[in-house]
Chains A and B, each alone.
Chain A
Amino acid sequence: MILVSLDIDGTLEGGDPPGPIPLEFARRLQALGVVVGSSSDRTLTDQRRFWQAGGVEIDFVVLKHHLPDLPGKFDCGRYLHIGDTNQDVYFARLAGFEFWHVDSLEKPGPGEHPAQAMIDLLLLRLSGDPSVDGQAG
């Protein structure tokens, strides 16, 4: 099982500033059996409201500095955090998570759903394809 933690501001479309990842990305990942949630400096109340407003029932919300708590709650083989700042890098590494910069998720091609394009890339990368690099951006 894989756990994907998403930063909000600068990472998700509804963030402030908006990031490139649509909320549909989380929904589609969940459908694939991935544990998905947010790890942000926004308060827990704010994060819950954010997801409720987007109509997505997420698996977890945590404060960014509580990323290290997640492995104790979800027994997964891989832990991944996607974000856009050096705080994301710092807390992901502190928690032993892989960090992927949001800008490293490929832009969709014509006619491709952006969420699906990002998921395709994410799965390709998780499969170990050395030609794709999550640290870029």
Chain B
Amino acid sequence: MSAPAIHRSAAGMYRTTDGLGRWPYRGQVAAVGIGHSPTMRRWDGEAQTSIGAWCILAIRKAIADAGVSPAEVDGLVFDPETSTGSYWPADQPVPADFRAAFVPASDPLDGLAQLSPEWLLKNMPELTNVKFVMLASHCMSMAVAATVEAVGRGLTNVCVAVKGWHNFAGRYYQSGPNALPTVSGPGKHTPQSWAGPTCYGTAMQFERYLHKYGGSHDMMAPFVVNSRANGLLFPEGYFAQHRDTPITAEDYLTTRWIAKPANLLDNDMPIHAAAAYVFTTADRARDLKQPPVYVLGHAGGGTVQGDSYGPIPPRSCVETLEEAQANAASTARHVYEAAGVSASDIQFENCYDGFSLFHVFWIEGFGFAGVKEGECLDFFQTDISINGPNPVSPSGGNIGSGRTRFWGWTDTIQQLQGRAGARQLKIDAHCGLVGAFMPIWSNFAVLSKDPG
């Protein structure tokens, strides 16, 4: 095997501005395989449950699910960062059984607390034909956007997008720079050195939302209850596997505030898990094992500068409600333009919910089910379940299945393939919307049963 071309930035793959027109590869790229590792709240210390091992497992499952041969896989896109906010302690040696279980790469933390092309390919000898490797940061949505764009451009024919999240023992975001007595410079505003609860920015936006449009935080209860109910029907998810307990409205309304008006159940729970998807050309997809799910278009919101892809900078330190709404709306505009569809074509949505509260901004920004600015809380009081006419977050999202940002992709593909099991929508869904993460920085796609 010749060495693959490794692209360390995916910035050139994203569509984040107005006026780009329809995605040139509309309907020419399809999702054909899904693979998941099991889930754990935190890594148990076993080599075969390390995040590297679980990424390998997810990739192998996705390849098998698609029914392609591993030798046919010629592309790999993933996020080298795997932290949920927990870090491998600098003074803690890499466990001997982990070192013994895998072929090492140049960095001993590869496979344990991060990923690298070198480590993955060394430990997946069956991938003999990988020619294209791209690193796409932060979440599965960014990896998928880069993957489908790469397949569309002909850079790869059968490409696997993978995302792993490790979670070690201890508290979330209580190590790394955040554990230092002081952090100077712009770094003090980064996600590694939160100055308060991570949800405070969204909570502030939501407080403003309630002031502007009326309503109350209690009106979020149907969304959170519905999300967990859907999560409990998701066999791949954390709560279905480990804590099979629904959330009741009473549970939601009585749980404690983290940053009012965001409570504990508005926050997603970090877990240890990995997932992978196989994408290929529509031509190749036709005779594979699973029904193809076509990508009509992808786009997002963010700032591309050279090799860097970062968030849309807010005017001040924290994005305001109005900025969040504007960012959600412009992202929706890009996505609909790329996919050549309008809001009325979207039959279900799996927008990100890493804090439940900004799901409101996504639904309104995309105009899902005709919901306009200020109307989402009223919409949540209608039937938003998988049995209703406007299914909201049928995956259950992060709230329903744990913090991964990838449940929506699995669910959307499964719904359109007709293999979502107990979560299968009652409506005959042909077209769904999926993506993550925050209005300030995101990638979404419209997926369809039909190539368009």
> What is the interface of chain A, defined by CB distance below 8 A to chain B?
16-17, 41, 43-46, 49, 63-66, 85
Contact = CB atoms under 8 A, between A and B. Distances in A.
21 contacts: A16-B41, A16-B242, A16-B243, A17-B42, A17-B169, A41-B255, A41-B256, A41-B264, A43-B247, A43-B251, A44-B250, A44-B251, A44-B254, A45-B245, A45-B247, A45-B251, A46-B243, A63-B254, A64-B256, A65-B256, A85-B171
Interface of B: 41-42, 169, 171, 242-243, 245-248, 250-251, 254-256, 264-265
Contact of B41 (A17, A43, A66, A85): A17
Given A43-B255, A63-B254, A49 B245 contact: yes
A44 B256 CA distance: 12
Nearest to A62: B254
A89 to B, nearest CB: 14
A43, A44, A46, most chain B CB atoms within 10 A: A43
Nearest to A87: B256
A22 to B, nearest CB: 20
A128 to B, nearest CB: 33
A65 B264 CA distance: 11
Nearest to B256: A65
A41 B251 CA distance: 10
Contacts of A45: 245-248, 251
A46 B245 contact: yes
A43 to B, nearest CB: 4
Contacts of A16: 41, 242-243
B229 to A, nearest CB: 12
B388 to A, nearest CB: 23
B38 to A, nearest CB: 15
Contacts of B245: 43, 45-46, 49
Contacts of A43: 245, 247-248, 251, 255, 265
B69 to A, nearest CB: 39
B169, B250, B256, B265, most chain A CB atoms within 10 A: B256
Nearest to A50: B245
A43 B250 CA distance: 9
A45 B171 CA distance: 24
B272 to A, nearest CB: 12
Contacts of B42: 17
Contacts of A64: 256
B161 to A, nearest CB: 29
A46 B232 CA distance: 13
Given A44-B251, A63-B255, 8 more contacts: A16-B243, A41-B255, A43-B245, A43-B248, A43-B251, A43-B265, A46-B251, A65-B256
A46 B248 CA distance: 10
A65 B248 CA distance: 18
A116 B246 CA distance: 34
A105 to B, nearest CB: 20
A43 B256 CA distance: 10
B39 to A, nearest CB: 12
Contacts of A49: 245
